[in-house]
Structure 1
């Protein structure tokens, strides 16, 4: 299962992140901000990865993960993100968790571990 997720293009999941956030009154710009915070990508780099359908594996291999990402805790789909052993799967879960928090109305400074 993990291998399939790793080879999945980020662009195939991105619209779901945006839809989830927008249903709760948040914006695509806020989703992008969360992704940029986690990965270190700027707007152009993020757009390029989405346009090129970069896999999650390559997306996170090329990212400069935010050092404060270690502060991301909690559960996504019943799995505690801080306990995920595979580093790549943990990064994917970090992203899922940040989007969940955004969609639940958490203030952006808290989502970004300010």
Structure 2
């Protein structure tokens, strides 16, 4: 299996980009955190601990307390690839997160983003 560079990239290094993308469109850091916690099962404190530890994406998702079973409802294209067709589970989870942040930046309601 191919190891992508992003797997070893520090999650805490990319996290500010998620926030910047959301804030540029009038959304908030707390909404970004809510999305991340919904997807991974981390509490806010656990998320902050992961950021402080500067874990890589692979570790971030491997240590996720409970990946949300409704994440399979996330559909669409990220980086030219349909997220529902990605075969590598780790890459799919990373792209799910990218897609949710994209939806936030595009102005979707949190209810729709969190598949309620």
TM-score (normalised: structure 2): 0.96
Shift of 1:9: 0.8
Q: Which residue of 2 aligns with 1:57?
A: 58
- Segments of 4+ moved more than 4 angstroms: none
Q: Which residue of 2 aligns with 1:67?
A: 69
* Whole-angstrom CA distance in 1 between matches of 2:7 and 2:92: 11
Question: Is the aligned partner of 1:14 residue 2:15?
Answer: yes
Q: Which residue of 2 aligns with 1:92?
A: 94
Name stretches of at least 5 consecutive residues in structure 1 with no aligned partner: none
Contact in 2 for aligned 1:2/1:89 (Cα 8 Å): no
Name stretches of at least 5 consecutive residues in structure 2 with no aligned partner: none
TM-score (normalised: structure 1): 0.97
Shift of 1:65: 0.4
Output the aligned Cα RMSD.
1.0
Aligned length: 114
Q: Which residue of 2 aligns with 1:23?
A: 24
